[in-house]
Structure 1
Amino acid sequence: MSKLALGSHPFLLGFEQLERLVERTAKTDQNGYPPYNIEQTGETAYRVTLAVAGFGADDLSITVEDNQLVIRGRTSDEPGQRAYLHRGIAARQFQRTFVLADGVEVSGASIEHGLLHVDLMRSVPEPVVRNIKIRKSQE
């Protein structure tokens, strides 16, 4: 008995990219820094919140690249500027990616109290019903 790949099931026509998407999502698992939450804030609205203590708005960038939300952080702290006796607040550079479904758009971002909030909205497509005309073969 052979096992069918997820994207090659006969009823999933045109979903060849689904398997690649699942593989890409598995590769985005990072070291856990910075910690984050994902919450549903409405029927079609979501919020990704990252704990970014020590980062300012100028130290962060948010981009959408090929249906991936990419959040990067880089501190402008030069080594040697401060003499830490203990450094427990990690402010190292990071890149955190989230794969977005088709139709999900970033609607805004804000930073407050050391938390970066990225708001997402999913557009709901209108249902489309089309009748397909059947041609008669020329006999």
Structure 2
Amino acid sequence: MSRMTPFSSPLLLGFDSVEKTLERIGKAGDGYPPYNIERIRRSGQGPDLIRITLAVAGFRPEDLEVVTEESQLIIRGRQSDDTEREFLYRGIAARQFQKCFLLADGMRIDGAQLKNGLLFIDLAKPEPERVVRKIEIAVVD
């Protein structure tokens, strides 16, 4: 018995990658570090921004990495254990993380900054050009 998927309709052509992306999103579940996603309205200064804010208290800029791979924004954090310190109690662990966000076509990263334990990443999506193209029909005898 074959499995029916939402994108198995013969009218949806070329959406195989979307189905794989949705499966990948469904598997992501770690809530660390906490984050916000907000729209920043820029009146008359270009398209609105989307800002991702991650709570990364205790991480230094050199502990963080922000990269794009294909259509993904990947944020990694690695803290090294300080072996010179002797903890009597350790409630704040040196934890590493990786957080991935899927980007729509045309999205670009405007910048990233670390301030007061928060990592801000600004993204912009320029308005796409509307392309209309007429396809000529060839007559075959």
- Counterpart position of 2:39: 40
- Output the CA distance in 2 between the equivalents of 1:26 and 1:44: 28
Q: Cα deviation per residue 1:72-102 (whole Å; 9 max; x = unaligned)?
A: 1111342x32233444444411111111122
* Structure 1 unmatched ranges of 5 or more: none
Question: Number of aligned pairs?
Answer: 135
Identical positions, percent: 50
The answer on whether the counterparts of 2:78 and 2:96 sit within 8 Å (CA) in structure 1 is: yes
Q: Does 1:73 align with 2:67?
A: no
- Counterpart position of 2:11: 11
Alpha-carbon distance, 1:8 to partner: 1.8
- Counterpart position of 1:118: 121
Worse-superposed segment, 68-77 or 81-90: 81-90
- Output the CA distance in 2 between the equivalents of 1:27 and 1:3: 19
1:97 counterpart letter in structure 2: C
Q: Does 1:28 align with 2:31?
A: no
Alpha-carbon distance, 1:103 to partner: 1.4
Sort the Cα spacing of 1:108 and 1:130 in 2 relative to 1 into closer, same or farther, 3 A. same
- Counterpart position of 2:44: none
1:33 counterpart letter in structure 2: Y
TM-score by length of 2: 0.84
Q: What's the C-alpha RMSD, in Å, of the aligned pairs? A: 1.9
The answer on whether the counterparts of 1:40 and 1:46 sit within 8 Å (CA) in structure 2 is: yes
